Amino acid sequence: MKYIIVGAVAGGASAAARLRRLDEHAEIIIFEKGEYISYANCGLPYYIGDVIKDRNKLFVQTASAFNKRFNIDVRVMTEVTNIDPLNHTITAINHATGELYEEKYDKLILSPGAEPLRPPLPGIMSEGIFTLRNVNDTDFIKAYIQEKKVKTVLIIGAGFIGLEMAENFFGLGLNVTIIEMGNQILAPIDFPIAAIAQHHIRSKGVSLLLNTGVTGFSKNGDQILVTVNNGAELQADMVLLSIGVRPDTRLALQAGLKIGSSKGIWVNEYLQTSEPDIYAVGDAIEFENPITNRSMITYLAGPANKQGRICADNVVLGNARSYHGSINTAIVKVFDMTVGTTGTASKHLSAANINHIVSTTHNGSHAAYYPDVKQMTIQIAFSPKNGQLLSAQIAGYDGVDKRLDILSSFITQKKTIYELIEFEQAYAPQYSSAKDPVNMAGFVAENILLERLNIFYWNEVENIKVDGVLVDVRRKDEFEAGHITSSINIPVDEIRSRLNELTKEQNIYIYCEAGLRGYLAQRILKQHGFRKVKNLSGGYQLWKICAEEFGLVSQ
């Protein structure tokens, strides 16, 4: 058998190595249009920021090492320009020599990846405007900073790469401004968790401009002038475009392969394209989201590597393994903070008409009495019908990755919040609490489902002010330090003796700092005959950050 793989890095290289382990005698050729076949794409920002100082550490495998270990013909700087599915041939050009030639295949695997978006704005091709996708981009950016003695940088787009680059540029001592067209950073997550991260970014002195679109670029000497949609003009030594990527489907289109509704290469459950002898993996493919059942594309290294392995099994063994999709588990370091997401965000569940409940909890990263405990905020979404966990998002400082992985596992296995309650973690005060933040998220969700807890959300407060009474159940000193306008203060420890200040006919909306005291107050009131009582999910601290970021109150 002769297998040809187009594109290396994550999906293609994984598929090639797996093919060899399954078939020692097959002929395997990898075509890679770039110089490198397997490198740590996610490490590129940290090399630019001098966190990773040795450039060689970015390379997982070199072409020669890959050839020596796996006996695979690796052809770098060689681009496949044409596929003929009928005759089972590809046409390739060696960019080093200019040679154009054909190769036959029995099975073909496409792993072309994605390409960064560079919209046709005036001046966008000017010197000093970069995208970051590969090692060459990294080298150009790093050299430009040094040669031009860059002091100020504008990052356009506040996705994962944009935020990682903001941190690394900031670490180099550069003045950083982030411009984002949307009303929040990190589009895959919901606004409350994004707001927490935005607040942290601003606290570092980084300028964050939301709801701001770029309309064009021009040069003033070595300076780049960036015009935005409100007519303002910003100036910087360098610009990084981080406004997203799109699947590279050019070869697939040329070959007549089916393109799906999300504009990626359509594949079936076996990662097989519309041509039976052509398979595809990685950033260029689309597949069914296991939560929404809608077609989606994911640009993550983890799924691409797993797809490569499954695809190789199917190519050699004959469609033996199904790919079950990705729930888009992702994590990012945002300066000192860590933000993670898994499953389908509430806003996307709503768009897919999936009924769900959102709950937000705040807990310490480990036992409160052990030194250096750090707060983390967990938001989960779950089904009101059976409690099935649909998504989880976390913002915090320590232990975010551990909790995110637990929640990702539960979502993948279609587990419920009831099973979350029973999750048994490794407990010692340095690492957790006897009731872990994951358990606490489950406890609160169970209370909601059992109607022991009725909640309202930060963005409903404005309507509530004319709909009922807003009660702050924190201590008097906390209330005086800052509270929601028009709320009254009845501390939870005094509420039994002050029931006469409330009426059972009115809607009562309670809040405390994080949610626990509000829940206790609600339980007291309900058992004294007050039926129309709700508690603010996430408490005052989440409301304050969200209201500030949304522009409802001054920062």
For residue 382, with 0-12 CB atoms within 10 Å meaning exposed, 13-18 middle and 19 or more buried, which class applies? Answer: buried
Beta partners for residue 30, in sequence order: 5, 74
| 8 A C-beta contact, residue 311 and residue 320 | no
Of these residues, 42, 311, 512, 546, which one is catalytic?
A: 42
CA-CA-CA-CA torsion for 406, 412, 414, 415, nearest 10 degrees?
A: -10
Helix (H) or strand (E) holding 391: strand 389-396
- CA triple 462-468-473, angle to 5 deg: 85
Question: Is residue 42 annotated as a catalytic residue, yes or no?
Answer: yes
**How many C-beta atoms lie closer than 10 Å to residue 60's C-beta?**
17
Q: Quote the strand ranges of 95-179, DSSP E.
A: 100-104, 107-110, 114-116, 129-131, 152-156, 175-179
| Radius of gyration, alpha carbons of the chain | 27
Q: Is the separation of the CB atoms in 438 and 392 below 8 Å?
A: no
CA distance 281 to 310: 9
Q: Rounded CA gap, 550 and 487, in Å?
A: 20
The rounded Cα 381 to chain-centroid distance in angstroms is: 16
Active site residues: 42
